[in-house]
Amino acid sequence: MFEYGYSNFLESLVYGLLLLILIITNIYLERVNTDMSLRDKMNAEHALKSLYDEARDYAFDYANAVPERNVFPSAEAISNLNHFVEDMPIENGDGSEILKQLHTLGSPASVAHTGGRYFGYVNGGIIPVTLATKWLTDFWDQNTALYLMSPIASKLEAVCETWLKQLFCLPDETVAGFVSGTSSAIFCGLAAARFRLYDNKGWDFNRQGMNGAPALRVITGRETHGAVVKALALLGFGLDNIEYVDCDDQGRICAEKLPALDDRCVLVLQAGNVSSGAFDPFDEICTQAADAGAWVHIDGAFGLWAGGTTQLRHLTKGMDKAQSWSVDGHKTLNTPYDSGILLCADKQALTGALQASGAYLHFSENRDGMHYTPEMSRRARAVELWAALKYLGSKGVDELIVGLHDRAVQFSNELSQQGFSILNDVVFNQIVVSCNTSNTHTEQIIQSIQASGECWVGGSMWQGQKVIRISVCSWVTSESDISRSVMAFVAARAKTLKAS
């Protein structure tokens, strides 16, 4: 009896102490919010760590719920976003309430990219160690322009550069720039090309600019990605000057239809057609380009990673003969977003195109990241890439990338068994699906699939007909995710045809 009473007493005492601490903490925070300066308030929040604990709890709550939630937000969740619309506050806010609002209203309105049933765009999942790395490096808050700003970022960028060359079997002289995404990487690669081709002609583009410059030629396939076209426009090549080459029924550039190449040519090829996943014939074309003195850039946003596998490496045969390559970590490698990579075998051309100087800038004998990117101030994004490559190793990269291909093949096979037509050769992770209906019905089927919440796919046009475009990009996607998604296709088709 005494032991039972004593145990209850201790339990009550502990509970009372915890309650007292909570009351004191709340009183303290109220005082922080009312009496302290903004700097003191933020110092107190940082010292208490409670905001970080709340963010962690919300993050785990989100992660636990995401596998079974609607892939795309419900209408109610989207409507609730209107609660964010208000005039700019005048007074300081409450950090805890801000986090609560984000989780309560923001989390339900996010798209479940980290689940296994999002196939709309080439949006990869996220490897757990890279997410954890991102949390840690957010606390570091490093600027990676110079070694003197962040020795750790400088060192890991250099390590990633070496590992990527090894993984893709690229020339030893290749250097890497770590940018926000493939669009920026393409821009850098084409800027380097412009610098080199003009320099070969004795034209200093940085000083003399475009006025009176010798004409350059840009050659690419008709299926080239919009990011390539955007980069060419930004660099002043002129969209009307692009020489487009016909592609085959898979979206590959036809090597036999290339115009005569010369030393004024920038040739843009792709590793992974945005719809079909097809790869251009690098070996044949790069050999022609080398003989002519042309520059080849390979846009490999998601497909270049095939070069890091044993089973799929044949798709990238000959890519080492190019001069520059663009690729994304956040797509098929499943790092966090903001992980574009530009690889360039001509260091002088890249650094010359992206040069920046200033009396206050102090370069070192170590890697100064700003030499290889348009940005000066930028976060330490390469640390997450390093964590992914360190965690996976070359065998893990192989397993991850080939696994995405395997799930894509499963998806295409099961859809075929259900009466859908697959219009492409599934060589990588992309599938082009025909519903064998009118364009109007296909669009209605797409909308029905999206509204179901079971999975999310997008529409596109392929050789004149409306199609469903599938991208399998997340490590989370399982065999059961694929089968479940196929049933969503079947249900949407039945619903659409019944309504018509």
* CA terminus-to-terminus distance, the chain: 76
Identify whether the C-beta of residue 473 lies closer than 8 Å to the C-beta of residue 429.
Answer: yes
Closest CA to 348 of 319, 371, 327: 371
Using DSSP bridges, classify how beta strands 295-299 and 324-328 pair: parallel, antiparallel or unpaired.
parallel
Instruction: Give residue 363's pLDDT.
Output: 84
d(CA 253, CA 246): 6
In this structure, is the dihedral angle defined by the CA atoms of residues 396, 397, 398 and 399, taken in order, positive or negative?
Answer: positive
d(CA 210, CA 217): 14
Which domains, from first to last, does the chain contain? 129-390 (3.40.640.10)
Instruction: Give residue 330's pLDDT.
Output: 93
**What Rg do the C-alpha atoms of the chain give, in angstroms?**
27
Instruction: Give residue 1's pLDDT.
Output: 43
User: pLDDT tens digits, the chain, 500 residues: what are they?
Assistant: 445 555 566 666 766 676 677 666 666 655 545 568 999 989 988 888 999 999 999 999 999 999 888 999 999 999 999 999 999 999 999 999 999 999 999 999 999 998 899 999 888 899 999 999 999 999 999 999 999 999 999 999 999 999 999 999 999 999 999 999 999 999 999 999 999 999 999 999 999 999 999 999 999 999 999 999 999 999 999 999 999 999 999 999 999 999 999 999 999 999 999 999 999 999 999 999 999 999 999 999 999 999 999 999 999 999 999 999 999 999 999 999 999 999 999 999 999 999 877 777 788 889 988 899 999 999 999 999 999 999 999 999 999 999 999 999 999 999 999 999 999 999 999 999 999 999 999 999 999 999 999 999 999 999 999 999 999 999 999 999 999 999 999 999 999 999 97
Q: Count other C-beta atoms under 10 Å from residue 248's C-beta.
A: 14
In this structure, is the dihedral angle defined by the CA atoms of residues 113, 477, 129 and 380, taken in order, positive or negative?
Answer: negative
> At a CB cut-off of 8 Å and minimum separation 6, what does 426 contact?
277, 405, 408, 409, 412
Instruction: Give residue 227's pLDDT.
Output: 96
Instruction: Give residue 2's pLDDT.
Output: 45
Instruction: Give residue 287's pLDDT.
Output: 97
C-alpha pair distances (Å), 27 with each of 31, 96, 318: 6, 14, 67
Identify whether the C-beta of residue 340 lies closer than 8 Å to the C-beta of residue 184.
Answer: yes
**Residue type present at position 327:** V
> At a CB cut-off of 8 Å and minimum separation 6, what does 448 contact?
491, 492, 495, 496
